[in-house]
Amino acid sequence: MTDSLDTLSKAVGIRKTDLHKIWADVKANHARLDSCPRHSWEQVDGETKTYAQKYVCTACGGTIDSHAKHWYELGLKHAR
């Protein structure tokens, strides 16, 4: 019997064990972000993208992309 992870693994060509690791990394990143009382974003070194640039919080170590950073900062602005 195949499960959805088997299907996904075959469709994208990533081993099931690697998909488990990716998911664990995603959950750990969300836990860091959720536990942080106030983020302070810094551009990830070596990144030169203009689209989907990555940022890391200097307080919690969580990472996000430029879209999430934009909405986070807009939320702070609106809260003032």
Q: Please tell me the distance from the alpha carbon of residue 63 to that of residue 66, in angstroms, as a whole number.
A: 10
Tell whether the model's pLDDT for residue 51 goes beyond 90. no
25 and 47 co-located in one domain = no
44 and 80 co-located in one domain = yes
Number of structural domains (the chain) is 2
The domain of 9 spans: 1-35
Other C-beta atoms within 10 Å of 30: how many?
11
The answer, as to whether pTM is greater than 0.75, is yes
Write the CB contacts of 9 (distance below 8 Å, at least 6 apart in sequence). Answer: 15, 16, 19
29 and 57 co-located in one domain = no
Tell whether the model's pLDDT for residue 75 goes beyond 70. yes
4 and 28 co-located in one domain = yes
Confidence (pLDDT) at 52: 77
